[in-house]
């Protein structure tokens, strides 16, 4: 029996409320389940995203580029990046949640994977169109609180195939916890009065896990008007790319939804403040927080299973084994 024989993928079971026995059974089936690449993820059709695939040690660049010529003609771009060695960065055009977009990501990843490697310098940046987040301090306050409260869960999930963050993460995608907690407190105290100042400060913080440098205006669609998530580890695995994009998109959907639950989040924040989790422990599994966060941002069992699969990583430290579990090996 597979996990979705056991769970209806379209229902919304509260995993954080399950008994220990039921949760253990669900995790057992999740560990056995091979994630599938999905055709669509049911985003708002007006919402956009883009990605940056970083690749090192490219064996034959000209041959790789010849394999990618169709996608380069369709808006994908390549450029050198000083942070990666003997490699290139491949950036997507503006994408929406449709079959063509997901097929292009899968195909580009497949070709790059034949010629390059992911090393400690490689990241997997995800851009979400800023039209998703209204230009209102209340929504930014929610975002800052949510990120600061569950940052440890976010980082472990975004490690993708790996249990640990890449070695250079402090150089270009460091923790936002202290900054976001401080900004949340300021917005709570001063509201709209302090909002323009906070927003400008966010725009000039280029090396944090979330970057607002390209933000032109919240709530408005413009090319390159994005919120950039920089903490995910590099990967050529299209399932992880899809999972990461879905994760950040659904997190922002939750921020602007009527379901936003200050009581639950502030209660977790209080627990965190009493038992501070150091960044060096972000690679550890924090099951209570993860299940709670999962129930907050996702509204269906399928998204929750896909999140937990990548968060738990099959409870295995071996990346090669994890890739086999995902059904994707080089």
pLDDT of residue 315: 55
Residue 43: give the domain boundaries.
Answer: 3-326
Alpha-carbon distance 31 to 52, whole Å? 29
Alpha-carbon distance 185 to 191, whole Å? 10
pLDDT digits (tens, 9 = 90+) for 151-161: 999 999 999 99
- With a CB cutoff of 8 Å and minimum separation 6, the contacts of 189 are none
Q: How many domains does the chain have?
A: 1
Alpha-carbon distance 225 to 241, whole Å? 21
pLDDT digits (tens, 9 = 90+) for 199-219: 999 998 778 999 999 999 999
Among 24, 12, 26, 17, CA closest to 302: 12
pTM of the model: 0.94
Ranges 42-56, 130-144, 306-320: which has the least confidence:
306-320
Residue 219 main-chain phi, psi, to 5 deg: 80, 5
pLDDT of residue 279: 79
pLDDT digits (tens, 9 = 90+) for 302-315: 999 999 999 999 65
Query: Mean per-residue pLDDT for 211-234?
Result: 95
Residue 75 has pLDDT above 50, yes or no: yes
Q: Report the mean per-residue pLDDT for the chain.
A: 92
- Which contacts of 7-14 are long-range, i.e. CB under 8 A and separated by 24 or more positions? 7/301, 7/305, 8/301, 9/300, 9/301, 9/302, 9/305, 10/300, 10/301, 10/302, 11/300, 11/301, 12/298, 12/299, 12/300, 12/301, 13/301, 13/304, 14/295
Residue 81 has pLDDT above 90, yes or no: no
Contact 215, 143 (CB under 8 A): no
Residue owning tokens 């909002």:
195
Among 132, 67, 66, 70, CA closest to 96: 132
pLDDT of residue 325: 40
Alpha-carbon distance 135 to 141, whole Å? 11
pLDDT digits (tens, 9 = 90+) for 91-141: 999 999 999 999 999 999 999 999 999 998 999 999 999 999 999 999 999
Ranges 50-59, 69-78, 201-210: which has the least confidence:
201-210
């Amino acid at each position: 029996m597979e996990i979705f024989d056991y769970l209806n993928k379209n229902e919304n079971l509260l995993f954080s409320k399950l008994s220990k026995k039921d949760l253990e059974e669900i995790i057992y089936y999740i560990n056995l389940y091979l994630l599938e690449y999905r055709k669509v993820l049911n985003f708002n059709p007006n919402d956009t995203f883009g990605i940056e695939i970083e690749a090192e040690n490219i064996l034959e660049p000209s041959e790789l580029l010849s394999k990618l010529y169709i996608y380069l003609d369709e808006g994908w771009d390549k450029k050198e990046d000083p942070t990666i060695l003997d490699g290139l960065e491949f950036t997507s055009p503006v994408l929406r949640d449709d079959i063509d977009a997901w097929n292009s990501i899968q195909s580009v990843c497949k070709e790059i994977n034949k010629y390059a490697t992911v090393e400690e310098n490689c990241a997997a940046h995800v851009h979400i169109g800023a039209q998703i987040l209204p230009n209102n301090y209340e929504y930014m306050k929610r975002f800052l609180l949510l990120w600061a409260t569950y940052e440890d869960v976010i980082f472990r999930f975004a490690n993708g195939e790996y249990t640990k963050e890449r070695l250079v993460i402090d150089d270009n995608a460091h923790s936002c916890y202290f900054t976001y907690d401080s900004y949340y407190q300021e917005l709570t105290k001063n509201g709209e009065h302090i909002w323009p100042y906070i927003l400008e400060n966010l725009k000039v913080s280029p090396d944090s896990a979330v970057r607002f440098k390209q933000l032109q205006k919240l709530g408005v669609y413009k090319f390159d008007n994005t919120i950039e998530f920089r903490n995910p580890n590099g990967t050529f695995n299209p399932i992880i790319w899809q999972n990461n994009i879905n994760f950040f998109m659904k997190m922002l959907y939750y921020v602007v939804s009527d379901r936003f639950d200050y009581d639950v989040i502030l209660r977790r924040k209080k627990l965190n403040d009493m038992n501070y989790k150091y960044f060096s422990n972000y690679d550890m599994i924090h099951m209570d927080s993860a299940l709670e966060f999962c129930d907050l941002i996702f509204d269906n069992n399928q998204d929750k299973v896909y999140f937990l699969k990548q968060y738990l990583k099959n409870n295995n430290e071996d990346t090669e084994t994890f890739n086999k579990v995902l059904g994707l090996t080089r």
